[in-house]
Structure 1
Amino acid sequence: MHDYQTLRLEAQGAVLFVTIDAPPMNLLGPELVRDLVLLIEVLDQGEPYKVVVFKSADPDYFISHVDVHKIAAYRQEAARLTGEASIALLFRRLAETKAVTVAQVEGRTRGAGNEFILNCDMRFAARGRAIFAQNEAAYGLVPGGGGAQHLVRMLGRGRALEVMLSADDFDADLAEHYGWINRAFAPEVLAPFVTDLAHRIAGFPAAGLTLIKERTNAISLAPVEDFRRDSDLFGSAVTNAEAQQRIKAAIELGFQTRAAEMNLGELLRKLAK
């Protein structure tokens, strides 16, 4: 095993539990991306881990979103695996890895955090605690990590546009109704269900799991060129004057602070005025 800075790993047979622990609020920065690169390299081997469950050490935040102060740095870390400075291509590699990936969401996951869980094979969430958003539109940006590719396929055109254009927060019940996640559970039920499911799947032959993932990806996963295009659009747009001004305005309102982002949808509403 590698020496991870932002991930805590616990192996239970063929199931690997990965806890995201990147204080102060699990922002996606270069350290977390570096650790994800190392982990994906392990999962690509297929053995000994057939199933990996992602969860968070922070009860309020799963992955908040990207650290807007370190965009160039985290994109360069992604290039260690993909050969290109692209978080979208890194997340697509997560979707293609041999291990079955499950997101156990009990806090807020927005922007690239949401794109991370969309590239997991399954998503389960805690009612009353999990919050989802794809909020790049508030800054004049396009989702850069494959969000559009997955949301349109999962939710359909109208609901995907609602999610992306509103830049608003969605709770676990609505996310379940929309097909954004597999299921929503009461918080006390979520972890036992996910753990039982992970061990059940891990009990089956690895060859069959890998083939099912490969065939499912062949049907449902957007071409790599589409992910690359979204990443390039985000990378170019985030440097323009309007995007920078809107990010600055959001930071002045409390963006990237724990207290303000408990209700980020309301904060971003102020940017629309």
Structure 2
Amino acid sequence: MSDFETLLFDDSRDHVEVTLNRSDTKNAIDAQMIDELHRVCAILERTPQIMILTGGADGVFAGGADIAQLRDRNRDDGLAGINVTLFERIRALPLPTVAAIDGYALGGGAELSYACDVRLATPRTVFGQPEPGLGIIAGAGATFRLVRLLGESVAKQVLLAGEWLDADQALRFGLVQSVVDPTELVAAARGVAEKMGRSSQLALRMTKLAVDAGEGAHPQIELAIQAMLFEDDEKIARMTDFLDRRAARSAR
């Protein structure tokens, strides 16, 4: 869509690819980018698709929020949750999201990647939360998402001690799925998206819903979802195809 200015939006495949496009500012997340990402969310809520999100700029995913705009935000802006509201919306998208992260993912940029379901990195990827050094907290999801993603001890090392996680650490802690060469990053992300795309999209959507549900929702949510899927025509067709192929192999 040509009317995006801070993003590149490509829906020519079976999934959507969104590229942050403010390379002159290290993809700093400003108000316009937030508005445009909300528009992307509206598209994917209306017509669910898997999304790949990447920084595009060589060696930078997103350097954080736009500090000039952040400095001018007041108490009401803080309570409005400008960034966290967007990232929660990304987190809640119906189908999975894949963040392809090359280089620095700092502050709000890191938090944007945490909102995605799967992350891929390159050897030069670095995650960091420098917000306390600027007099604020990591207030767009890191304080609760990192605890879930990394565990409390490692999350506190990042959030309180100011430790940065390089690609090897992110892979070891499970924050990223894989580390690939920068030239192979987009292809690797497409491979993940295409693999997910071969699954039942309804089953994929319901799995994400179950995973993201609060702890108190289990196991009842699995029972309700599975009961619904057991009646789904695609489930019957997929299982019938599986059994037919197995029978054909046995008959050889």
TM-score interval, normalised by the smaller of the two chains: 0.7 to 0.9
RMSD over equivalenced CA pairs, Å: 2.4
Q: Corresponding residue for 1:14?
A: 14
Q: Corresponding residue for 2:177?
A: 182
CA deviation map 1:25-47 (0-9, x unaligned): 11011111111111111111244
Once the two structures are TM-superposed, the CA of residue 99 in structure 1 deviates from its matched residue by 2.7
Q: Corresponding residue for 1:71?
A: 70
Q: Corresponding residue for 2:121?
A: 125
Distance (Å, rounded) in 2 between the aligned partners of 1:162 and 1:72:
25
What are the equivalent positions in structure 2 for 1:132-147 lying under 5 Å apart? 132-147=127-142
CA deviation map 1:66-95 (0-9, x unaligned): 1121128889xx99xxx9453112211110
Q: Corresponding residue for 1:195?
A: 190
Contact 1:46 1:98 in 2 (8 A): no
Contact 1:33 1:74 in 2 (8 A): no
Q: Corresponding residue for 2:29?
A: 28
Distance (Å, rounded) in 2 between the aligned partners of 1:161 and 1:123:
20
Distance (Å, rounded) in 1 between the aligned partners of 2:56 and 2:6:
10
Contact 1:122 1:181 in 2 (8 A): yes
Residues paired across the two proteins, number: 212
Once the two structures are TM-superposed, the CA of residue 182 in structure 1 deviates from its matched residue by 2.2
| Structure having the higher Rg | 2
Q: 1:119 to 1:107 in 2, by over 3 A?
A: same
The secondary structure found in structure 1 opposite 2:4 is coil
Contact 2:41 2:90 in 1 (8 A): yes
Q: 1:2 to 1:96 in 2, by over 3 A?
A: farther
Q: What amino acid does structure 2 have at the position aligned with 1:27?
A: A
Q: 1:103 to 1:58 in 2, by over 3 A?
A: same
The secondary structure found in structure 2 opposite 1:18 is strand
Distance (Å, rounded) in 1 between the aligned partners of 2:47 and 2:96:
9
Unaligned runs of 5+ in 1: 221-273
Distance (Å, rounded) in 2 between the aligned partners of 1:201 and 1:74:
39
Contact 1:30 1:73 in 2 (8 A): no
Distance (Å, rounded) in 1 between the aligned partners of 2:58 and 2:145:
26
Which consecutive segments of 4 or more residues in structure 1 shift more than 6 A? Answer: 72-75
Once the two structures are TM-superposed, the CA of residue 154 in structure 1 deviates from its matched residue by 1.2
Once the two structures are TM-superposed, the CA of residue 115 in structure 1 deviates from its matched residue by 0.6
TM-score between the two structures when normalised by the length of structure 1 = 0.71
Once the two structures are TM-superposed, the CA of residue 219 in structure 1 deviates from its matched residue by 4.2
Q: What amino acid does structure 1 have at the position aligned with 2:84?
A: A
Q: Corresponding residue for 2:225?
A: none
Unaligned runs of 5+ in 2: 216-252
Q: Corresponding residue for 2:208?
A: 213
The secondary structure found in structure 2 opposite 1:43 is helix
What are the equivalent positions in structure 2 for 1:26-65 lying under 5 Å apart? 26-47=27-48, 50-65=49-64
Sequence identity (%)? 24
The secondary structure found in structure 2 opposite 1:115 is helix
Contact 1:2 1:38 in 2 (8 A): no
The secondary structure found in structure 2 opposite 1:69 is helix
CA deviation map 1:190-225 (0-9, x unaligned): 3322211211212322211211111111047xxxxx
